[in-house]
Amino acid sequence: MRSSMDEWGPLSLKFGKTKASMQETGISTSPTMATGNTLSLVAKDIACVRGGRTVFEGVSFAVQAGEALMLRGPNGTGKSSLLRLLAGYVPVAEGTLLWCGEDAHDDLEGYQPNLHYLGHLDAIKPVLSVRENISQWAALMGAEADADEALAHFGLTKLADLPAKYLSAGQKRRLNLARLAASHRPIWLLDEPSVSLDDASVAQLEKLVAKHLGEGGMAIIATHLDLDVGPASVLRLGEGGAS
């Protein structure tokens, strides 16, 4: 079964069957940057199998620099599994995933440092301050970041010295998203990034993603919202296939 799409950008897509998914979070280290307008992430008839069950198969798409792909559909239709496969945390059962023309899963050490993956869980150290969480994240990524600037983008400046364990759910989500501004990587894989955010914070998220795309990055986002981020295509996934 194949999917139907709403397209607002130059992406080329073809998706097949979709089933259940799981959600987690993870990070990669030691960034190695790729630059220029030749960046591309291309999937060719990829399939995902988890727990002996096919989650999806026949998935093909191409995302270029400056483009975004929105994943839509009911819970349990494979959006999270697709993002985790793209992040290299789930193996490709069939097909090929190409980063700049090279097989991404054949060289995860070279591929993963080019991406940020934000899952459903907010990977925050509760005993560290808000600022320390950002600073340590940037150091882990091998970047020299202005933690205060990243925090300011999501209105966390006044909370910079507060231990993260005292943050609300929305504040923790904003802190997690602030990491995107603290360390530049071309590929952003975001799983429901707007969860727990108020309208003002969603607007800040949209601005951050739009800025990333404008600077030649790319984003693949699982979301139920109509995020205004610039050039994007929408893929709708449904039970047993896309709707």
- Stretch 136-157: mean pLDDT: 84
Task: Name which residue leads in pLDDT, 95 or 15.
Answer: 95
Return the axis-axis angle of helices 130-140 and 169-182, rounded to nearest 10°: 40
Q: What is the 3-state secondary structure (H, E, C) of 168-217?
A: CHHHHHHHHHHHHHHCCCCEEEEECCCCCCCHHHHHHHHHHHHHHHHCCC
pLDDT confidence of residue 238: 56
Mean pLDDT score, 82-104? 96
> In the predicted model, is pLDDT for residue 45 greater than 50?
yes
Report whether pLDDT(192) > 90.
Answer: yes
What does the mean pLDDT of the chain come to? 82
- Better-predicted residue by pLDDT, 241 or 197: 197
Q: Is the pLDDT of residue 82 over 50?
A: yes
pTM: 0.82
Beta strand 12-14 with 53-64: parallel, antiparallel or unpaired?
A: antiparallel
Spell out the domains of the chain, with CATH numbers in brackets.
5-236 (3.40.50.300)
- Distance (Å, whole) CA 22 – CA 4: 23
Say what the pLDDT of residue 61 is: 87
DSSP state of 89: S
